[in-house]
Amino acid sequence: MDKLYAIARENIKNSYSPYSKFAVSAVLELKDGTLFKGVNVENAAYGLCNCAERSAIYSAYSQGVRKADIRRIFIYTDHAYFVSPCGSCRQVMRELMEDDARIVLANNKGETKEYRNAELLPAAFTEGDL
């Protein structure tokens, strides 16, 4: 986990967050150890922004990764408190990652909190509801 922390902390500098000034970094780890990094990317038209979690997941999916391949996602913010994924990210994670995949939140004090994916969005709307 120290490796993921170091990568996420270094990656946060790639965030493009001139409006919120709230940088977020995510590192998606596959079961084979492959890593995909993501950061939040803002836009003056706020609805066009993309969160770090979705950036990492979409990057992985664009290269053929699927939910069974994913071990966990590590989410870092440069704050002393923990920041949980937004609702949009929770919905994407719930559909594109297995329910038992791990969601790890990290703060700038080196502390982490870990959740199962299904815990962050109980009673989710999924492909089974269609």
Per residue in 2-21, pLDDT tens? 999 999 999 999 999 999 99
Per residue in 40-97, pLDDT tens? 999 999 889 999 999 999 999 999 999 999 999 999 999 999 999 999 999 999 999 9
Catalytic site residue 53? yes
| Beta-sheet strand order (sheet of 70-77) | 35-39, 24-30, 70-77, 102-106, 112-116
Phi then psi for 48, rounded to 5 degrees?
-95, 5
Among 10, 29, 42, 53, the active-site one is 53
pLDDT of the residue at 127: 83
What is the domain-level CATH number for residue 116? 3.40.140.10
128's CB contacts (< 8 A; 6+ apart) are: none
pLDDT of the residue at 126: 84
Residue 27: give the domain boundaries: 2-129
Strands 112-116 and 24-30: unpaired
